[in-house]
Amino acid sequence: MDRYRGMFDQAVKQLGPGQDKVDALRGSLARRCLDGQGKGDIPMRKHAGVLRGAVIAAACLALAVCAGVYLHGGQSGPRPDTAQLPRLPLSTEVTEPNGMGFEGYLAFDSSELVNANPWRSDAKLSALPVYRNLVPLDGAGVPKVTPDPVRTRETLLETAALLGLNPDSLEIDENPELGLGFTARAEGAEIRAWENRTVAISFDPAISLPEGYEFGHHAAYEELAAAAEYLKAQYKDLIAMDDPQVNISGGDYTFYGDQMYSLEFFDAGDGPVDSLLNYNFRRAAFYGNDEGKLFGIRLYSTDLSEKIGDYPIITPKTAQKLLLEGRYITNVPQELPGKQYVKKVELLYLTGGREEYFMPYYRFLVELPEEAQENGLNTYGAYYVPAVEEAYLTGLPVWDGSFN
């Protein structure tokens, strides 16, 4: 078994149910495995005593003013009734590095940092839904709620069936560690399902792709795009999406100059809001090893059944104004260096397991001049501004540079 598959298996056991994109934040489990990291919802990379983040970069530079028309599922409508909406607390997961350093990405230029986030800066969205996290985790990554073993077991068996595995051949762990999930083993595969409907699949031996496909850790963007089309067709039943969209994210570098990307799929959905939710909460991630073989798949299907309401959101322009005023949250141990260093912005949801609510944020990628490398690589730190209007937040103080 090669070292990356072993790291994947170890990371799967340690990561638990809360490791999706900020796992992103939207993050890359493959890249964390590559760097030997096993914990944390914001994937980090190690350098000079500091761990950087795997890329979950945004796609848009323009900071356009959004019009006040409410769109949901592609349909326009009136501004939602906000009279009874509760106030929302800010994320503590972003501001508590938990020993993992800060979220940052290495690239020669910010244009190299890419993903397929369906949000666009000119999208006319005036409200977005907020949901309660139904499987919140404590600081040790253990669910605070009573596990539902019946549902988790069903998720496990459904995944096994989609892989074509005979349920009678499965060796199922009936005593999941710390209530975190169930594990099923069969010849050539191990499946682990968690309470929050996240499923991790590892293959041993790893599965070869047909000749001509490049799916290794260092595959170029175009090579990964070609492999994505093959995997999308080969695993269409497991992906289980009506209109799967390819999300090749990354473009950041290791400190040795190796550029890396990650591969995921999300459903296009019915309109811009549905697509954004799928991009953040319902995803299928595929991982290749050094030999270009498929060694792991991770499926995300967050339970969004408890909607708090549709909250009014601010525009990117307003968010940038708050950013420049210091009214943001971050785990970057530096103050914002200045407007000229703000390079990218995207709208996303923070989806870490310790979040009390799943709510939208604007994430700004900011060049950190003090972190420039001798080989020309720049570091881009992540700074977050809540997209929900301030009146519906418990507070948005000026960032004091400390971690909670």
Tokens of 259: 């550029």
Within a domain: 368: yes
Kind plus residue range of the DSSP H or E element containing 149: helix 149-162
CB neighbour list of residue 263: distance below 8 Å, 6 or more residues apart: 224, 227, 228, 231, 246, 247, 248, 285, 286, 287, 288
The pLDDT value given to residue 79: 54
In a domain, 24, yes or no: no
Q: How would you label 204-225 residue by residue, b for 16+ Cβ within 10 Å and e otherwise?
A: bebeebeeebebbbebeeebbe
Higher pLDDT, 96 or 311: 311
Q: Please report which confidence band the pLDDT of residue 48 belongs to, taking 50, 70 and 90 as the band edges.
A: very low
What the block records as the tokens of 286 is 């595929």
Q: Using pLDDT thresholds of 50, 70 and 90, give the confidence band for residue 2.
A: very low
Which residue(s) pair with 47 in the sheet?
Answer: 50
Residue ranges making up the domain that contains 97: 61-135+307-392
- What is the C-alpha R_g of the chain? 20
Q: How many domains does the chain have?
A: 1
User: CA triplet 238, 239, 241: central angle to 5 degrees?
Assistant: 130
| pLDDT higher than 70, residue 20 | no
- Give percent of the chain with pLDDT exceeding 70: 75
Does residue 268 lie in a domain region? no
Per-residue confidence (pLDDT) for residue 320, from 0 to 100: 98
In a domain, 102, yes or no: yes
Encode pLDDT of 82-118 as tens digits.
Answer: 668 999 999 988 877 555 678 999 999 999 999 999 9
**For the residues of 7-39, what is the DSSP string, one character each?**
HHHHHHHHH-TT----TBSB--HHHHHHTT---
SS3 138: coil
- Identify the burial level of 16 via C-beta atoms within 10 angstroms of its C-beta, where 0-12 means exposed, 13-18 middle and 19 or more buried: buried
C-alpha to C-alpha distances, 380 to 21, 63, 97, 117, nearest whole angstrom: 18, 18, 17, 18
| H or E segment to which residue 296 belongs | strand 294-301
Residue 227 lies inside a defined structural domain of this protein:
no
User: How does the average pLDDT of the chain come out, rounded?
Assistant: 81
Residue 365 falls inside a structural domain: yes
Q: Is residue 149 part of a domain?
A: no
Residue 117 lies in a domain: yes
pLDDT digits (tens, 9 = 90+) for 232-289: 999 999 999 999 999 999 999 998 889 999 999 999 999 999 999 999 999 999 999 9
**61: helix, strand or coil:** coil
Is residue 149 very low, low, confident or very high in pLDDT (cuts 50, 70, 90)? confident
